[in-house]
Amino acid sequence: MVSPYRLTVTELSHMMDDGLLTSSQLIESCLQRVSAREDAVQAWQHVDADGALEAARKCDNEPRIGPLHGIPVGVKDIFDTFDMPTTYGSPIYDGNQPKGDAACVALLRELGAIILGKTVSTEFATRYPGKTRNPWNLDHTPGGSSSGSAAAVADCMVPLALGTQTAGSVIRPSAYCGVVGYKPSFGYVNRTGVKPLSDSLDTVGFHARSVVDVGLIFSLLSGRPESALTASSANNRVWRIGVCRTPMWDSIDDEAQTLFEMTASRLANAGAQVEQIELDPAFMAGMASQDIISEFETWRSLAYERTRHADKLSGTLIDRLRRAGARSVADYNKARAHAEECRRGIAIVFESWDALLVPAVSGAAPIGLGDTGDPVFCKLWTLLHGPAITIPAGKSDRGLPLAVQLVGNIHTDNSLLRCAQWVESILAARLKTH
């Protein structure tokens, strides 16, 4: 029998429905995995073993209330939790104990899920890395800012984890760690109780080991049951997939370029309508607009920290805040206007396509732990507010995960998830776990 910690949320839920597995057995399995691997991977800021086991026993003694009943979840350490510390990735908040849960954490508990612990975040979900390492090779970054969430799911410590994305903080670590990462349409998952960074861009997302799993959690937390996927969700449809190298194509290494082109060919051979497209050069300026909006809003979001505790901020964040403080409201308003123009423009592009196949990252996870990698292939799509999903698609010569990304227009989450499910079935490349 496969150890429970290795299974997906959907597989675990079916086993519990059939009486083949209890929540207590699952939690014990996950905790054993954490005990065996945490010293190496360092994915967790806090693990609530006793609380999780107590919650599991309670779940086992109650009727099942849904597919997340008794399922453990990791929560990025910028989400408030009433029963665990929340540090936001900063020593400023060592020992900080919120009085309540973030809204989406409370919803998870209401659905019967068990919060196993808090996963490592970079400093305030920015670029200064935490302690987490890539489980495929401990000398490589796991990406960020949702470092611990992606690594914990990839290393089978937990089947599902919450993250956030302001630039590329769900897609990038998921791609580097070889799991499925999903950033929904902006605003679809409530952010109350999540430490804000950029109010115009911050989005709650998910890390899991299958597209069906991210579709499940999205449907439940967004209140959109029609987004839940079944085994036949993606069948009987010819998917229209635009292949977009993007203006940043020269940033991709040779391995990632080859994988991208092979993926496009495989999808065409499997029956999709696939065609190369080019974005209008005006979209390229969206990268700069994302930076301006994010920095202008970050300066204000972190006002307390930079005015009262600047000595506890990293040099990386201080440098960013220095740039952010110089952003003018005129530049900010211009960037927001350009973002709206781009959103109107991309809606026209998507009239012809169900999804765009685009790069997720520049290549495999870079060596070294001092940097979390470049979000260059995520910024534009985050700015455009549409859904984005990364799917494992192969391995580099060094055995590290490689991935592709599908993006959709805002409010097309249902369609994008079904297209992603079909793409996942064609790639058949859910990477073997350790």
Q: Reply yes or no on whether 425 is catalytic.
A: no
Return the SS3 of 216. helix
Residue 433 — pLDDT band, cuts 50, 70, 90? Answer: very low
Q: What single letter denotes the amino acid at residue 202?
A: D
Summarize pLDDT for 264-305 with one digit per residue, the tens: 999 999 999 999 999 998 898 999 999 999 999 999 999 999
Residue 164 clears pLDDT 80, i.e. is over it = yes
Question: 295, 327 in Cβ contact below 8 A?
Answer: yes
Residue 352 clears pLDDT 50, i.e. is over it = yes
- CATH T-level fold of 241-285+335-427: Amidase signature (AS) enzymes (3.90.1300)
Cα angle at 73 between 39 and 196, to 5 degrees? 95
The count of residues in the chain is: 434
From 29, 145, 222, 362, active-site residue: 145
Q: Reply yes or no on whether 251 is catalytic.
A: no
Q: Reply yes or no on whether 76 is catalytic.
A: yes
- The residue behind tokens 């979000």 is 375
Question: Rounded to an integer, what distance in angstroms lies between the CA atom of residue 150 and that of residue 166?
Answer: 16
Summarize pLDDT for 83-138 with one digit per residue, the tens: 999 999 999 999 999 999 999 999 999 999 999 999 999 999 999 999 999 999 99
**Closest CA relative to residue 119, chosen from 159, 164, 149, 94:** 149
Average pLDDT, the chain: 96
Residue 429 — pLDDT band, cuts 50, 70, 90? Answer: very low
Residue 431 clears pLDDT 50, i.e. is over it = no
From 29, 76, 90, 185, active-site residue: 76
Residue 221 — pLDDT band, cuts 50, 70, 90? Answer: very high
High-pLDDT (> 70) share of the chain, %: 99
Cα angle at 185 between 182 and 191, to 5 degrees? 85
Q: Where in the chain is the domain with CATH 3.90.1300.10?
A: 9-227, 241-285+335-427
Q: Is 167 exposed, middle or buried (0-12, 13-18, 19+ CB in 10 A)?
A: buried
Residue 434 clears pLDDT 90, i.e. is over it = no
Cβ contacts of 68 within 8 Å, gap of 6 or more = 9, 13, 108, 111, 112, 113, 216, 217, 220
From 90, 121, 169, 219, active-site residue: 169
pLDDT-wise least confident of 99-108, 157-166, 225-234 = 225-234
Which overall architecture, per CATH, does domain 9-227 show?
Alpha-Beta Complex (3.90)
Question: Rounded to an integer, what distance in angstroms lies between the CA atom of residue 191 and that of residue 186?
Answer: 10
